[in-house]
Structure 1
Amino acid sequence: MKRFKGIQLLVLSLLVVMIVSACGNSASSSNQGSSEGSNSGKDVKITLLNSKGEIQQQLEEAAKAFHEDNPNITLEVQAVPNGGSPFERASALYAAGNPPTMIMLDTGDVEKFKDRILDLSGEKWNQDAVANATDFTTFEGKNYAFPFAIEGYGFIYNKAVVDKAVGGNFDPSTIKTTNDLENLFKQIEASGKKALVISPMDWSLGAHYLPLAYAGQNKDMAEVNKFIDALKAGQVDLASNKVFNGLMDTFDVMMKHNIDSASPLSGQYERGAELLGKGEVGIWFMGNWAWPQISGYDTANKQYGFLPVPISNNPDDYGNQEISSAVSKRIVIDKEKSTPEQQAAAKKFLNWLVYEQKGQDFLVNKMNIIPAFKNITLPAADPLGKSIQDYIAKGKSEQSMSLLPADHWKQVGASMQKYLAKASDRATLAKEIQDYWKNVK
């Protein structure tokens, strides 16, 4: 996740998402922006490369529902290999001459495909998108991507576990510092449960945890951008950087209380969802995209929320009470190999998600997506989405780093894994991160 222009605009726009009255879901509006090819009666097959593996099944069900509404269009949902990069998978498919009709990319990857994908500026949903939703996919005045989801991440807590630990109704606003967090860990452990699980995947550590050290440098994203530029120029000494050290102090506390401390690199994504959902741990560092997996393990409680990741023991420091969130995944449409009929059918599918009641239901209630469109007024269907929306509504959100280089999470994530495994120290980690940025082209 990369650079965003203004947190205030996103906050205001997401407030609109939650309170503005519906603009209507007429069938006529769902066809705006789509060419006549999708309505010609000719059978068309289109494909979507999905890089959100946790909603693969729900997307396949949505494809069937879309086909029922549009019998001449068949949509096949392909999955990026588990743990794989959508940029690398899409690049490989282009190299093989067989790109999908639609590709779900991370924000920072859209520009790399700009010459191979459609200009979507003429689509109606551009006017209904929340503020800033298309800023980072717009080049020379043309928007090339559909903003698929708003996502946020931090410490997910199982309320039943934490309530028992604190001996009452847990108030997440009481956790404002690293010391507060560690005290909560100790309370959970004293209650007979494990405090938390750290998922060691490179994408979680490299694309989500460490970037808090970048975004937390300043509320003003222009200043964050300057910090990134200084990293590229080799002008930052991370070893003496207050935010980086504070974030890693918190990580040290996490490592000490990690249920997998004896084998910190052994865990997988599903393990975190299972441990949290079954109430074996109280806390898991992850994002709201994990709800389908968590809920699968919890058939009774289903009360969860987010805690921000503190970076100091001063409760007033920026980041200590803010949750990281942003418009994240984007869908683009191929123009290199797809036919005009396929392009029109793909546009129709995107419009179906935004304007048709059935499409909105899949997006919000079945995929647990926080939509990036102000005309969709359905409240978040799950407690994690509601928690994210609540932080945003209160002005307690921090911009996620949506435009990091495509290889950042692999390269820097590997360095974080070494630190997690105690195979390197903080000075080594800081140097490896600085060396990575100095080599970014």
Structure 2
Amino acid sequence: MKCKKILSLLAAFTITSSLLVGCGTSSSSSGSSGSSKKVKISIMNSKGEIQSQLEEAVKTFSKANPNITIDVVACSAGQPPFEKLSTMYSSQNAPALAIVDPGDVIKFKDKFADLSNEKWVKDAQEGSLDTVKLDGKTMGFPLTVEGDGIIYNKKVLDKAGVDPTKIKTTNDLEEAFKKVQATGVAPVALSPMDWSLGSHFFGTSYATQSKDSKDNAKFLDDLKAGKVNLAQNKQFNGLIATLDVLKKYNIDKGDALAATYEKDQQYIGEGKVGFWFMGNWAWPQIKQFSGDNKDFGFIPVPVSNNADDYGNSGIAVGVTKYIGLDKTNNNADQQAAAKKFLNWLVYDKDGQDIMVNKASIITAFKNITLAPNDPLSKSIKDHMNSKNTIEFMTVLPSDHGTKVGAAMQKYVGNKEDKAALANEIQAYWKTVK
């Protein structure tokens, strides 16, 4: 994923580098720190929409653990976590904990500590650690399970006589848009951020190549090798056909690239549009505008006009953020304090409450019985329970969002056609090492 471009929530933080003096204690699997030694650590946050909730979490944790102080360091707007963390390592000022994208764990595996002996590893949901199992070691803590698709405001759809469960194809989606439009409401908002268009939306074309993630990985390898002609690829053409429908009925189609995340979350929340392509991470912002209306959910992004085609009934779901623990810039006491905080998130009722109820996170741990209390997370859980999901393409190159996103922006802004889009994306993949 990326550092979320959520300007309204990102606060400016200055990291305080404060390494401890004196003897260090060896870190234990329980993550306990010395009972009297003052320890100061930091967390790099690349998930901007939970900035305030994360600040609340560290304050609550420190009240119960007064000898441990935690600073929260936010990524700058638009800054990939890989870039931010690389800069911090270059200045020998790495945080004890870093919230990063799945692919970043692989890149920093020599910097991150092995967490295999932590208690929460055994309580992690099946498959949630697969991406960060490297050389037989567990190199990351699964922070959040997320999903994306087309969000709908059910009150708008009810007024238009649209049943979201009946939308199975691209044609079905357009018919729903027409019905919403007939009520005087704009059908859909299409956000033009590169990470949304490039990684999330276009990622659907990769994820729907096959039910088998290994086949999807091979498809990406074939793209790198120049063996794929996207212009002739069924999933690419189907997804772009759906994008054409989104463009046609977009509330901001007159100046599509001027749309913003902040405006679009307000549109869907206030019912000024019926649909919006985005993920469940947007709920904390949507609810600020939705009032008493909590009737929202997801439909998949259709990729064809055959309802039985793979992908037409599934939304993308996966672990989208991991936390890595530094072992090079932080001493044994700091590492132990960091482990204690991770355990607190999983096993303490206050930690669980902040994650699930305050931050609207779908956790990756079997022992956490709190159910999501927001409608988008509930919708994702329903899709998970019914096994109507597709792979969330979490291990894409770090520059995929910016490069493919830029190409997608040209297409959305009518600055290049589909053939040029396919060529530009193919050319990008040939540069990937």
Partner of 2:153: 158
Provide the C-alpha distance between the structure 1 equivalents of 2:28 and 2:305, rounded to a whole number of angstroms. 52
Partner of 1:110: 105
Query: Any idea what the Cα deviations from partners look like across 1:135-173, whole Å, max 9, x if unmatched?
Result: 11111100110000000000000111111011xxx5322
TM-score normalised to the size of structure 1? 0.91
Say which of 139, 144, 154 aligns to 1:144: 139
Provide the C-alpha distance between the structure 1 equivalents of 2:389 and 2:28, rounded to a whole number of angstroms. 34
1:32–1:124 CA contact under 8 A, matched in 2: no
Partner of 1:77: 72
SS in 2 for 1:286: strand
Matched, 1:403 2:395: yes
Provide the C-alpha distance between the structure 2 equivalents of 1:103 and 1:89, rounded to a whole number of angstroms. 10
- Superposed counterparts of 1:20-419, under 5 Å: 33-36=29-32, 38-166=33-161, 170-419=162-411
Compute the displacement of 1:34 (Å): 3.1
**Paired residue type of 1:315:** A
**Paired residue type of 1:210:** F
SS in 2 for 1:415: helix
**Paired residue type of 1:349:** F
Compute the displacement of 1:100 (Å): 1.1
Provide the C-alpha distance between the structure 2 equivalents of 1:121 and 1:172, rounded to a whole number of angstroms. 43
What fraction of aligned residue pairs are identical, expressed as a percent?
54
**Paired residue type of 1:338:** N
* Corresponding residue pairs, total: 408
Provide the C-alpha distance between the structure 2 equivalents of 1:340 and 1:246, rounded to a whole number of angstroms. 52
Say which of 396, 403, 413 aligns to 1:421: 413
1:34–1:345 CA contact under 8 A, matched in 2: no
RMSD of the alignment, in Å? 1.1
SS in 1 for 2:258: coil
Provide the C-alpha distance between the structure 2 equivalents of 1:186 and 1:33, rounded to a whole number of angstroms. 57
Provide the C-alpha distance between the structure 1 equivalents of 2:378 and 2:125, rounded to a whole number of angstroms. 17
Provide the C-alpha distance between the structure 1 equivalents of 2:128 and 2:292, rounded to a whole number of angstroms. 36
Provide the C-alpha distance between the structure 1 equivalents of 2:185 and 2:28, rounded to a whole number of angstroms. 54
SS in 2 for 1:155: strand
SS in 1 for 2:148: strand
1:154–1:287 CA contact under 8 A, matched in 2: yes
Query: Any idea what the Cα deviations from partners look like across 1:367-405, whole Å, max 9, x if unmatched?
Result: 000000011111111000000000010110001111101
**Paired residue type of 2:137:** K
Compute the displacement of 1:32 (Å): 7.3
SS in 1 for 2:383: helix
Query: Any idea what the Cα deviations from partners look like across 1:236-271, whole Å, max 9, x if unmatched?
Result: 000011110000000000000001111111122111
1:307–1:323 CA contact under 8 A, matched in 2: yes
Compute the displacement of 1:287 (Å): 0.1
Q: Please list every run of 5 or more consecutive structure 1 residues that lacks an aligned counterpart in the other structure.
A: 2-30
Provide the C-alpha distance between the structure 1 equivalents of 2:387 and 2:134, rounded to a whole number of angstroms. 29
1:176–1:315 CA contact under 8 A, matched in 2: yes
TM-score normalised to the size of structure 2? 0.93
Provide the C-alpha distance between the structure 1 equivalents of 2:128 and 2:40, rounded to a whole number of angstroms. 29
**Paired residue type of 1:361:** D
Provide the C-alpha distance between the structure 1 equivalents of 2:105 and 2:367, rounded to a whole number of angstroms. 25
Compute the displacement of 1:434 (Å): 0.6
Provide the C-alpha distance between the structure 2 equivalents of 1:190 and 1:300, rounded to a whole number of angstroms. 25
Compute the displacement of 1:40 (Å): 2.5
2:30–2:119 CA contact under 8 A, matched in 1: no
Provide the C-alpha distance between the structure 2 equivalents of 1:393 and 1:408, rounded to a whole number of angstroms. 30
